[in-house]
Amino acid sequence: MTPPAAPPSPSAEVRLDELGELIAGLPGLLGFPPVDSLVVVTFTTTPDRCWLGPTVRVDLPEPGGRPDLVEQLCGAFAQNQVVAATPVIVGGGGADPPRLPHRGLMRLLTHELSAMGIRLVHSAWVPTIEHGATWWCYEDGECTGQVHDPRSSALAAVAALDGTVTYGSRAEMVDLLSPDQEDRVAHRAQLLSALTGAPLREGELHQEMLATIDAFTAQDNQPELDDERIVRLTVALGHGRVRDTCLTLSITDRASAAERLWTVLTRAVPAPERAEPAFLLALCAYLRGSAVLAGMSLEVALDADPSHPLASLLRDALDRGTPPAEVRRMVAASVEQAQSRRRPEG
């Protein structure tokens, strides 16, 4: 299951006049065009208006797996106070409208949504998310329309404004985290081993980490890091004070710069050390709404270090559909507790 993606920034008001525009915006919301998927766009409310809520994508299940999947989805919706939803099935077989594929899955989901008091705005099937593709409604066989241009959809524009990159496929996102060339990573592992027990001062490592993140602030001018600096930054992440600072950065206006550095280090660092930047990348990605990238980064982190405690906690939070705002509060509380433990008494 792709964890819930956070909605576009509340400061950006998006008006969706028809389903073709909403479907066209799904790649921007998820970060890639879904294929053979169930996607559920949700809505929440405030006293004065209705907001676009979390968007969830799952692979289409086998018939026997439908009940468990729907239960998991509804649990995420309950966590996020969803009041309305639009489920869309993308692909998963051909159709002879109004006979649409996966009707049993859609029937089960809409029944459970109704039982939770969540209003069904629409339910649709579309073969692919491309400009001009025809979508069909499950509820009304005569209700149909065309997908708008995904490249110019309102949701894609808002996602881009928030810093979300839309990839051509999920595989392209996976490539983002692929390790550097094997010999380069092996060389850094040797350098790390040589630094074991070396007298590196935490204060100096802390300052180098902050300076490097500052250098990543300009999106169009990413600095090149040599192997020695990559290794020092990796060592720095092993120090408690530096880890606390890096956690804090995820909830500040320097989060984007930090995320770019964590991406570089996730590719550059050998296991098990790469678990730390991969976890930090997952945290930054989830807090800004890219749940897909967050999930992939957590897979890397837990593969490198299955016992990484914070990565395991974040994985559980994503699986439960915990709202990013709640994760943000958890991060702030965790950093405060860690700093209090290290604060000298007196």
- Give the whole-angstrom CA distance, residue 237 versus residue 342: 17
Here the CATH number for the domain that contains residue 126 is 3.40.140.10
273 within domain boundaries: yes
CA distances from 49 to 69, 139, 199 (A): 30, 26, 57
Contact between 267 and 228 under an 8 Å Cβ cutoff? The reply is: no
Residues 99 and 221 placed together within one structural domain of the fold: no
Task: Write out the chain's pLDDT in tens, 346 residues.
Answer: 554 454 444 434 444 558 999 999 999 888 889 999 999 999 887 666 667 788 889 999 999 999 999 998 998 888 888 999 999 999 998 888 888 999 999 999 999 999 999 999 999 999 999 999 999 999 998 899 999 999 887 776 666 655 566 777 788 888 889 999 999 999 999 999 888 766 678 888 999 999 999 999 865 667 889 999 999 999 999 888 898 899 999 999 899 899 999 999 999 999 999 999 999 999 999 888 788 889 999 999 999 999 999 999 999 988 888 888 889 988 888 777 766 665 554 4
Residues 71 and 147 placed together within one structural domain of the fold: yes
For the chain, what is the domain count?
Answer: 2
- Which of 164, 193, 227 finishes a domain? 164
Residues 187 and 104 placed together within one structural domain of the fold: no
- Which of 164, 188, 223 finishes a domain? 164
The three-point CA angle 307-252-54 to 5° equals 70
Residues 246 and 329 placed together within one structural domain of the fold: yes
CB-count exposure of residue 15 (10 Å: 0-12, 13-18, 19+)? exposed
The predicted structure's pLDDT at residue 221: 66
The three-point CA angle 60-66-2 to 5° equals 50
Residues 228 and 203 placed together within one structural domain of the fold: yes
334 within domain boundaries: yes
Residues 121 and 236 placed together within one structural domain of the fold: no
Residues 62 and 196 placed together within one structural domain of the fold: no
SS (H, E, C) the chain: CEEEECCCCCCCCCCCCCHHHHHHCHHHHHCCCCCCEEEEEEEEEECCEEEEEEEEEEECCCHHHHHHHHHHHHHHHHHCCCCEEEEEEECCCCCECCECCCHHHHHHHHHHHHHCCCEECCCEEECCCCCCCEEEECCCCCCEEECCCHHHCHHHHHHHHCCCCCCCCHHHHHHCCCCCCHHHHHHHHHHHHHHCCCCCCHHHHHHHHHHHHHHCCCCCCCCCCCHHHHHHHHHHCCCHHHHHHHHHHCCCCCHHHHHHHHHHHHHHCCCCCCHHHHHHHHHHHHHCCCHHHHHHHHHHHHHHCCCCHHHHHHHHHHHCCCCHHHHHHHHHHHHHHHHHHHCCCC
Residues 6+ apart with CB under 8 A from 233: 205, 208, 209, 212, 225, 261, 265
- Give the whole-angstrom CA distance, residue 224 versus residue 230: 10
Residues 29 and 102 placed together within one structural domain of the fold: yes
Contact between 291 and 29 under an 8 Å Cβ cutoff? The reply is: no
Residues 150 and 251 placed together within one structural domain of the fold: no
Residues 324 and 195 placed together within one structural domain of the fold: yes
Residues 184 and 98 placed together within one structural domain of the fold: no
Contact between 34 and 129 under an 8 Å Cβ cutoff? The reply is: yes
The pTM of the full predicted model, rounded to 2 decimals, is 0.75
The predicted structure's pLDDT at residue 246: 94
Full residue range of the structural domain in which residue 264 is found: 176-342
- Which of 131, 164, 197 finishes a domain? 164
